[in-house]
Chain A
Amino acid sequence: MTTASFVILPLLVLYIIFYGFKKRIDIYDEFLIGAKEGLITTFKIIPNIVAMIFAINILIKSNIIHDMFLFMEPYLNKLSLSSDILPMAFLRSISGTSTLAIMANIFEVYGPDSIMGLLASVIQGSSDTTFYVIALYYGSIGITKNRYALSVGLFADLCGIIASFLIVYLLF
C-alpha cells in the first residue's frame, strides 16, 4: 500500500508533461513562469510562518501544557493511559512537529502497538495542523480577516480527537 504512494507523484509529473506536449505548450517557458511565481509565494509567507512558530514555540518551551495535564494523571491511569497523551491531543491543531515528536516519544516509552501508541497514531492521523494551514494559506494571498475559519478548523480538530479516543477503545 505504501509503494502505491511512491508511484503517484512520478505518474502525475509524467501526465502533466505529456499533456503539455499534446497541447503544444512551451512547457519549459511555462514551467519557469510558474516556478518564479512559486518563489514569490514562499517569500510572501515567510512572515506568517515566522510569527506562528515564534508564538507556538514560546508556549511549548514554557512546559505549561505538559504541567497542566500532569494533575489529571490519576484519572487517566484508570483508562490505562498516561498524561503524555493529552498534550498531544491539545497540541495537534497548533504544532505538527511537536505532536510528531510526542508520538515518537510515546512509541519509544510504551511501544507503537500499545494502547498509548495506537491512540497517538490515530490522533496524529486525525487531522492536519490547523494553525499552520491557516497561516500558510491566508498568508499567501494576503487575507487578514480570518472570519470564522479558526473556530471551524478547531471544532473539526476537536471532533477528530474525540473520535480518535472512541475509535481506539472500540477497535482495540
Chain B
Amino acid sequence: MVNIIWGAFIIIGIIYGLITGNIIAINNEIIESGNAAFNLIKDMTPLLVIWMGLMRIAEVSGLIKKIAKLMTPLLSKLFPKVPEGHESIGYIASNVAVNMAGLGSAATPFGLKAMAKLQELNHDKKRATSSMITFLVLNTSGVTIIPTTIISLRLVYGSTSPTIVIPACIMATICSGIGGLTLDYFIRRKNDNC
C-alpha cells in the first residue's frame, strides 16, 4: 500500500504541475525537498540522542521494567501477544504518557525504543507484528491533554481564550483512537496467527 501511495503522490504531483504550468515549483521542490528532510532530522537528532541516553539509564536501573509491571494490567488487553512485564510495555506506557502531556517530540524516543523492544519478539524481522500496528494506532491517535503547539499558536494570533479548544481536541482524539483501535481489534481477531 505504501508503494502505491508513494508512487501516486509523485506521479500525480508532477503531472498536475505540468498541466497547470506550475512546473517550476515542482522542479525547485525536487531539488530542495532533501534539505527539508535533513532539517527535520537535524532538529530531531539532539533530542533523540539525549533521550536514548537517559532511557538507557532507566532501562539498566530497572525503572522501565518497573513501569512495565505497573502498566501491564492496563495495557495487556491491547497487547495480548506481549509477555507480562516485558520492557516494551514500559516504553509504550511512557510514550503515551509523554504524548498526553503534549510533549510530542520528546515522546518519539520512547516510541522508537518501544518498537525496538517489540521487534525482539518478532520472528520475521521484515514484517510488522500486530502488536506493532496496535502501538502505531495508539501513538498516531494519541490523546494529547495539553496540545502545546496549538495553544501557543492561538495565543500568537490573538485568541481571547487559547485553551477553549482543549476539551474538543481531547474528544476528537478519543474518537480517533476508539475508531482505530476498534478496527485494529477486528482485523487482529480475523487473522490472529501473529
Of B141, B176, B183, chain A has the most CB atoms within 10 Å of the CB of: B176
Chain B contact surface mostly:
helix
What distance in Å separates the Cβ of B194 from its nearest Cβ neighbour in chain A? 9
Known: A61-B29, A142-B125, A160-B179. A16 touches B54 (CB 8 A): yes
Cα distance A46–B161 when bound, in Å? 39
Total number of B residues with any Cβ neighbor in A under 8 Å: 107
Cα distance A54–B40 when bound, in Å? 13
Choose among A108, A149, A156 the residue that contacts B128 (Cβ–Cβ < 8 A): A149
B76-105 Cβ-contact flags toward A at 8 Å (1 or 0): 000000000000000000000010011110
Choose among A25, A31, A34, A125 the residue that contacts B165 (Cβ–Cβ < 8 A): A125
Total number of A residues with any Cβ neighbor in B under 8 Å: 100
What distance in Å separates the Cβ of A11 from its nearest Cβ neighbour in chain B? 11
Known: A127-B173, A153-B180. A35 touches B50 (CB 8 A): yes
Choose among A64, A127, A152, A159 the residue that contacts B178 (Cβ–Cβ < 8 A): A159
Interface residues of B in 24-67 (CB under 8 A from A): 25-26, 28-30, 33-34, 36-38, 40-41, 44-45, 48-63
Q: Is A50 an interface residue (CB 8 A)?
A: yes
Chosen A-B contacts, 12 in total, with CB atoms closer than 8 Å, are: A17-B57, A20-B63, A22-B61, A33-B56, A59-B12, A61-B28, A63-B25, A113-B161, A126-B176, A137-B139, A145-B128, A152-B183
The 6 A-B pairs at the shortest CB distance, nearest first, are namely A34-B56, A156-B180, A160-B176, A38-B52, A159-B179, A125-B169
B: which residues have CB within 8 A of A?
1-2, 5-7, 9-10, 12-14, 16-17, 20, 22, 25-26, 28-30, 33-34, 36-38, 40-41, 44-45, 48-63, 98, 101-104, 106, 108-109, 111-112, 115-116, 119, 124-128, 132-133, 136-137, 139-142, 144, 146-154, 156-169, 171-173, 175-181, 183-184, 187
A: which residues have CB within 8 A of B?
1-2, 4-5, 8-9, 12-13, 15-17, 19-20, 22-23, 25, 27, 30-35, 37-39, 41-42, 45-46, 49-64, 67, 100, 103-104, 107-108, 111-113, 117-118, 121-130, 133-134, 136-138, 140-153, 155-164, 167-168, 171-172
